[in-house]
Structure 1
Amino acid sequence: MDATDGPAVIKLGVEDAMAGLVLSTEARWNQTEDDWRVFLHDGIVFGIRDGMRLVATAALLPYSGNNAWISMVLVSGTHRRRGLATRLVDACLETARTNGLTSWLDATPDGAAVYGPLGFAPVLQLRRLRLVNSDRASAQAPAAATLDSLCTRDRRANGFDRTTLLSKFAQRSGSRIVSANGAIALVREGRTARHIGPLLADNAAAALALVNAIAQSEGSPLLLDAVASQTAFLEGLTASGWTIERPFQRMRFGSATATGEEVPFAVAGPEFG
């Protein structure tokens, strides 16, 4: 079959948020309907339908400085091994090339094996961790921090601005930005667990202390995506009850347009970078 044969690749709209959520829920991912609305409103989401049913997606979310994140590459179990994901990623890459954007993504090991031959180069590794049961204590919750403080620190770490994204996270019900001793993090709702990230800190001890304080003030399961090179932080998490679920490989297509001044301890999530 020719690569152009088969059902058409289409652009999705905000009205497709629930259909996208069905796909990510089938994959047991943590995204909410609000997350899908970010991609559909601020980015470009390509999809493939079988009749009226949405069966595959891929999203391109632009950031400042000619950068963009590719994510939400999903194919329903009933339609896998038909080349749908490749077609959708190709659509994202072509759109990025047309607009002069450097593309980034966080890939599973299987995904990295696919994206490497397409021209993506590895950058850093992540580890997804989960904490199911935290020991809630009467210790004071970490202090609230401002959105401006988080955006400034996040921009320093990434080399590009994500104020629009972080603002939307912060405005959601249940979200909070907290800080202590040179560490700052955003905590937000997810479908199956609350997510900590991005997390920026002066050192591993400060990062761990803030995560522990967050865990002690939360009653729900928690997820975070730690940067693997932050070894002391990662070891501290596993020693305190966090379980590593899976690795991700951050990859870039094209030349870097900016360089971060510090390495984060945890990122906003593989779908957002």
Structure 2
Amino acid sequence: MAATEPVGIVGLDVDDAQAVMMLSTEAGWNQNEADWRFFLSRGAVFGMRNGARLVATAALLPYSAGNAWISMVLVTADFRRRGIATKLVDACLNAAARRGLTTWLDATPDGAAVYGPLGFEPTLQLRRLRLTKPQDTGTIPSLSDGNLDALAARDAGAMGFDRSTLLAEFSARSGSRIVSGDRAMALIRDGRTARHIGPLLADRADQALALVDAIVRSETGPWLIDAVYSQEEFLSGLVALGWTIERPFQRMRFGPAAISPVQPPFAVAGPEFG
């Protein structure tokens, strides 16, 4: 094997936080170090090195009820198109199979073309939107502090399984907020380049839009949100409020779905977390 080829798959831990941050920053992603430390401490993160240099990663994050999320599939620019990402995803799938886990991921269009032949089946679609400056829509809607237990319960209904550990970690971070208003709830947290809204749960699209409007006019952005594509009224409402669609994601599943969600969310926690 040539000296310029990475050798073998290695497991990563919290001591690798700075190295993995370099990969996601190179890709322009919004993850911060707190996100990576959650993956490294709570999940299984696999990597490949070229000498001492980390050149690729993929992460498996277990949830409850036999579910797990695959994400953070990153390869530095000069090592792409060598099959490295596929090998790392296979490592995640093998680890999930040993534990009997159904795996999920949110893929870009290019990623979906890779994951489909591996056995992943498409489920719902997402659209990532960005807002730099909110519109002045008149009176700011009411915004109250939300409750973690209530958010976790509604999130479990939307996902089909419990993610209270993830949401508790998010909400405990400096700068994070759980907010509510008129039967809508959302979690807000810092990213590397923008504040992120999600998950966002509501009974109706108008409630979800009112909450987003209140959030973005209550503090300084920029903002990112990952909206569920089938929530058409909500998505079109965001665009009307000045949000710009940046890219699509396709949610995919490998293995059987154990539980059917009660109602899809209006926005998710992010493609890296589901």
TM-score (normalizing by structure 1): 0.96
Instruction: Determine the structure 2 residue equivalent to 1:220.
Output: 221
For the pair 1:160 / 2:145, whether they are aligned, the reply is: no
Alpha-carbon distance in 2 for matches of 1:14, 1:59: 13
Alpha-carbon distance in 1 for matches of 2:221, 2:139: 16
Instruction: Determine the structure 2 residue equivalent to 1:244.
Output: 245
Residue aligned with 2:162, SS: coil
Say whether the 8 Å CA contact 2:135–2:242 is kept in structure 1: no
Alpha-carbon distance in 1 for matches of 2:113, 2:87: 16
Deviates more, 1:136-145 or 1:262-271: 136-145
For the pair 1:83 / 2:83, whether they are aligned, the reply is: yes
Alpha-carbon distance in 2 for matches of 1:141, 1:19: 42
The within-5 A match list for 1:169-208 is 169-208=170-209
Alpha-carbon distance in 2 for matches of 1:6, 1:183: 47
Gaps of 5+ in 1: none
Instruction: Determine the structure 1 residue equivalent to 2:46.
Output: 46
**Amino acid of the residue matched to residue 206 of structure 2?**
A
Say whether the 8 Å CA contact 1:141–1:217 is kept in structure 2: no
Instruction: Determine the structure 1 residue equivalent to 2:254.
Output: 253
Residue 78 of structure 1 deviates from its aligned partner by 1.4
Residue 220 of structure 1 deviates from its aligned partner by 1.5
Identity among equivalent positions (%) equals 65
Alpha-carbon distance in 1 for matches of 2:158, 2:112: 23
Residue aligned with 2:260, SS: coil
The within-5 A match list for 1:1-273 is 7-135=7-135, 139=140, 142-273=143-274
Say whether the 8 Å CA contact 2:181–2:211 is kept in structure 1: yes
Say whether the 8 Å CA contact 2:142–2:181 is kept in structure 1: no
Residue 128 of structure 1 deviates from its aligned partner by 0.2
Deviations 1:10-59 (CA, angstroms, capped at 9, x unpaired)? 00011111111110000000000000001000000000011111110000
Say whether the 8 Å CA contact 2:6–2:50 is kept in structure 1: no
Alpha-carbon distance in 1 for matches of 2:43, 2:224: 24
Alpha-carbon distance in 1 for matches of 2:107, 2:219: 29
**Amino acid of the residue matched to residue 59 of structure 2?**
A
Residue 139 of structure 1 deviates from its aligned partner by 3.5
TM-score (normalizing by structure 2): 0.96
Deviates more, 1:111-120 or 1:137-146: 137-146
Say whether the 8 Å CA contact 1:201–1:265 is kept in structure 2: yes
Residue 82 of structure 1 deviates from its aligned partner by 1.1
Instruction: Kindly tell me the number of residue pairs found equivalent between the two proteins.
Output: 270
Residue aligned with 2:29, SS: coil
Residue aligned with 2:167, SS: helix
Say whether the 8 Å CA contact 1:134–1:219 is kept in structure 2: no
Residue 121 of structure 1 deviates from its aligned partner by 0.2
**Amino acid of the residue matched to residue 271 of structure 1?**
E
Alpha-carbon distance in 2 for matches of 1:128, 1:196: 11
Runs of 4+ residues deviating >6 angstroms: none
Say whether the 8 Å CA contact 1:141–1:214 is kept in structure 2: no
Say whether the 8 Å CA contact 1:71–1:270 is kept in structure 2: yes
Residue aligned with 2:235, SS: helix
Deviations 1:167-203 (CA, angstroms, capped at 9, x unpaired)? 0100000100000111000000000000000000000
Residue 135 of structure 1 deviates from its aligned partner by 4.0
Gaps of 5+ in 2: none
